[in-house]
Amino acid sequence: MKTILHKAADRGHVNFGWLDSHHSFSFGHYHDPEKVHFGALRVLNDDIVNGGGGFGTHPHDNMEIVSIPLKGDLEHKDSTGTEAVIRQNDVQIMSAGTGIRHSEKNHSEGVPVNFLQIWILPKEKDIKPRYDQKTFKPEDRQNKLLTVVAPDASSAVWINQDAWFSLGNLEAGKKEVYPIHKLGNGVYIFVLEGTVKIGDTELNKRDALGIWDTSEIEIETLTNAEVLVIDVPMEVSSW
């Protein structure tokens, strides 16, 4: 088993007033040659957008873009004609494919929105752009890991990659075994809240641990914790 530890304090950081963002991987003005990607996981930004702020219309292509609001509501518009509000407990995915333009803004004028912006390199290039969004009940991930993004589960939002995202709200003192979905995949565990232990490594809020060359991992909760597990191919041959 191989691992790489990314501490919360070591993330890239920008603050533009309307946007306060921490980058787990190289993004924008932040570049770390040791943190360009984890397999097919290319971007994991922890964004806080102040009331009334947002990202103006901009293009993407050949990328799977997942948005997970943690607090507040996010307003989305794109060139497929989709207009939606993404709320806490929702998960949104946008397959940029051959090309898409979109904007994102805080749906509230007075309350900040905190959301994760995650980019995954796609399995197939130049697909037709598409959009999907689903709501997941918090009770369905209580003391278990709930799959919210998958290439093969109708209950999750579909992704153009052999990748699976799982969210879990775990009480202190629990041990949760996560089997990696596909041979050659690794997992990136991002702690949203609380403290967990994986092997001999203790992870606190916004710490992350990448793990590969193993078939499963065990997450032990030292406090009540909320975790995101991103299961992705470690080799992306077409890129």
- At residue 237, the pLDDT reads 64
Q: Per the domain annotation, does 133 fall within a domain?
A: yes
**Residue 13: pLDDT band with limits 50, 70, 90:** very high
- 115: phi then psi, degrees, rounded to nearest 5: -140, 155
In a domain, 62, yes or no: yes
* Selection from 173, 222, 152 nearest residue 194 by Cα: 222
CATH number at residue 100: 2.60.120.10
Distance CA 190, CA 203 (A): 9
Residue type, 98: T
pLDDT of residue 82: 85
DSSP H or E segment with residue 192: strand 185-193
Per the CB < 8 A criterion, the answer to whether 1 and 210 are in contact is no
- Residue 15 inside a domain? The answer is yes
Say yes or no to pLDDT of 183 above 70: yes
pLDDT of residue 238: 53
pTM greater than 0.75 (yes/no): yes
pLDDT of residue 236: 83
| Residue 225: both structure tokens together | 């914790």
- Number of domains present in the structure of the chain: 1
Strand order, beta sheet including 216-221 = 175-179, 216-221, 196-198, 201-203
Determine the distance from the C-alpha atom of residue 56 to the mean position of all C-alpha atoms in its chain, rounded to a whole number.
21
Neighbours of 84 (CB within 10 A): 14
pLDDT value at residue 150:
98
**What gap in Å lies between CA 100 and CA 115, rounded to an integer?**
21
Does residue 239 lie within any of the structural domains?
Answer: no
Tokens 């037709």 belong to residue: 128
* Structural contact between residues 156 and 163, judged by C-beta atoms closer than 8 angstroms: no
Give percent above pLDDT 90 in the chain. Answer: 84
Domain span holding position 76: 2-233
Average pLDDT score, the chain: 95
pLDDT classification of 40: cutoffs 50, 70, 90: very high
Distances (CA, A) of 40 to 96, 97, 202, 211: 15, 15, 25, 13
238 belongs to a structural domain: no
Summarize pLDDT for 104-161 with one digit per residue, the tens: 888 888 899 999 999 999 999 999 999 999 999 999 999 999 999 999 988 999 999 9
Give CA 221 to chain center in angstroms: 20
Mean pLDDT within 172-196: 97
- Least confident segment among 27-31, 141-145, 198-202, 221-225: 27-31
Task: Tell me 154's DSSP state.
Answer: T
Length of the chain: 239
